[in-house]
């Protein structure tokens, strides 16, 4: 995956190296990024605001250790305030607005932390015999955390190459 183009400081827009390459690549990544990161943000919002609904939708477990449940709920509440940045980056990327890169760096960092913490938290708690959910839901958590982590790293790398060199 190459650069998404050069940054034009006067117009605050990305100027593509190749119009077709830039528009297809950035729109595609913007859509993927927006959808994937919205799954995380909306899921955490539902888990924070209505844990029973989240459990019914399969976004959270109801039969888990009390300490794990408290930790996950607190994380979900905090995530409402910080995970919105990556979906915004995706939308700005689709719109070809230069600020996507700044939101991509911040949001990518947030999602990288979110993914890494989610994976390690589950690994350590599982190894200690703490109930963290059904095997199917734990596997889903690992898959989604991995996807969010990869999306974060790709977005950070693209945002770094899109930054103006001043």
Distance of alpha carbon 118 from alpha carbon 126, whole angstroms: 12
Confidence of residue 128 (pLDDT cuts 50, 70, 90): very high
pLDDT of residue 115: 97
pTM of the model: 0.82
Query: pLDDT category, 165, cuts 50, 70, 90?
Result: very low
Size of the chain, expressed as the number of residues it contains = 166
pLDDT at residue 23 is higher than 80? no
Q: Is 114 exposed, middle or buried (0-12, 13-18, 19+ CB in 10 A)?
A: buried
Q: Across residues 133-161, what is the average pLDDT? A: 94
More confident residue, 88 or 59: 88
Q: Is 4 left (phi over 0), alpha (psi -120 to 50) or beta?
A: alpha
Range with the lowest mean pLDDT among 73-82, 88-97, 111-120, 155-164? Answer: 155-164
Q: Are 14 and 6 in contact (CB under 8 A)?
A: yes
For range 134-139, the mean pLDDT: 91
Query: In the prediction, which pLDDT does 163 show?
Result: 57
Angle at CA 130, nearest 5°, toward 126 and 133?
A: 75
Q: Is the pLDDT of residue 51 over 80?
A: yes
């Amino acid at each position: 995956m190459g650069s998404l183009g050069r940054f034009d400081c006067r117009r605050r827009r990305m100027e593509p190296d190749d119009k077709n390459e830039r528009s297809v690549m950035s729109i595609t990544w913007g859509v993927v990024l927006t959808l994937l990161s919205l799954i995380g943000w909306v899921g955490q919002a539902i888990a924070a605001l209505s844990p029973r609904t989240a459990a019914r939708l399969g976004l959270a477990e109801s039969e888990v250790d009390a300490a794990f449940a408290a930790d996950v709920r607190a994380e979900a509440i905090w995530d409402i305030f910080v995970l919105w940045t990556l979906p915004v980056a995706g939308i700005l990327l689709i719109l070809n607005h230069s600020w996507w890169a700044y939101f991509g760096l911040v949001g990518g960092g947030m999602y990288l932390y979110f993914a890494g913490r989610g994976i390690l938290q589950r690994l350590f708690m599982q190894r200690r015999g703490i109930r963290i959910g059904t095997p199917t839901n734990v596997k889903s958590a690992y898959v989604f955390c991995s996807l969010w982590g990869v999306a974060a790293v790709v977005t950070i790398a693209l945002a770094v190459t899109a930054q103006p060199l001043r």
